[in-house]
Amino acid sequence: MIERLQEVFTAGADPDRAGPMKAYMRDRFEFLGLTSEPRRALTREVLAGAAKPTERDLVEVALACWALPQREYQYFACDYLRRYAKVLTPAALPAIRTLVTTKSWWDTVDILAANVVGPMVTAHPALLPTMDEWAHRPGELWLARTAILHQLRYGRRTDTDRLFAYCASWATEPDFFIRKAIGWALREHAKTDPGAVRTFVADHPALSPLSVREALKTIGHGPA
């Protein structure tokens, strides 16, 4: 699959777009120049006719993609894992952790958090203590962001106490990506329980203005 992937993605590369894409990502990664829609079309081409992967297949392909220099290969890995997230068991979490903490940036971490780790935790509640551990590891900001965002798609299934505990524990963190994650997670939960989010924000004045602004973006400061 990796050989096929490289063949298809290289054939579709757009060097004129690669430079601006690299600049947008602060020159952190090389790019082939594949924007979202063309990349997804090529991904479908790569996966056409492929058998449903085993967990081992998913992990091996993802790690191989992470070893390649161009960012689009990491995007392919994220899409592949998201597509088959139900196949993953707790045995895959160490590999997912490696993906979160290697070549880390919001573009891959957020997909893994909400669309891979989140479904894994739903299917395997025994992973909750690991989320608690990730959420309380000083200096491991990308793991913390993953823990904060892993319930992003849960809706009414959200463990509110756990979400609020994670957000409170990082309320004074100066890192932009943690502050943004807190606000984003609270904003999503506000779609289900706006009153609880307003109360949480009011009770935690240490939250950054960014987190507060994001949390209340769609509900404001008024009554539920």
pLDDT at residue number 222 = 65
pLDDT at residue number 125 = 98
pLDDT category at 138 given cuts 50, 70, 90 is: confident
pLDDT category at 220 given cuts 50, 70, 90 is: confident
Q: Does domain 1-87 have CATH number 1.25.10.90?
A: yes
pLDDT at residue number 71 = 98
- Taking the whole predicted model, whether its pTM rises above 0.85 is answered as yes
Q: Is the pLDDT of residue 95 over 70?
A: yes
Average per-residue pLDDT for the chain: 96
Q: Is the pLDDT of residue 152 over 80?
A: yes
Q: Are 155 and 118 in contact (CB under 8 A)?
A: no
pLDDT category at 223 given cuts 50, 70, 90 is: low
Which CA distances in Å does 63 have to 49, 57, 67, 133, 142?
22, 10, 6, 23, 18
Percent of the chain exceeding pLDDT 90 equals 96
Q: Is the pLDDT of residue 224 over 60?
A: no
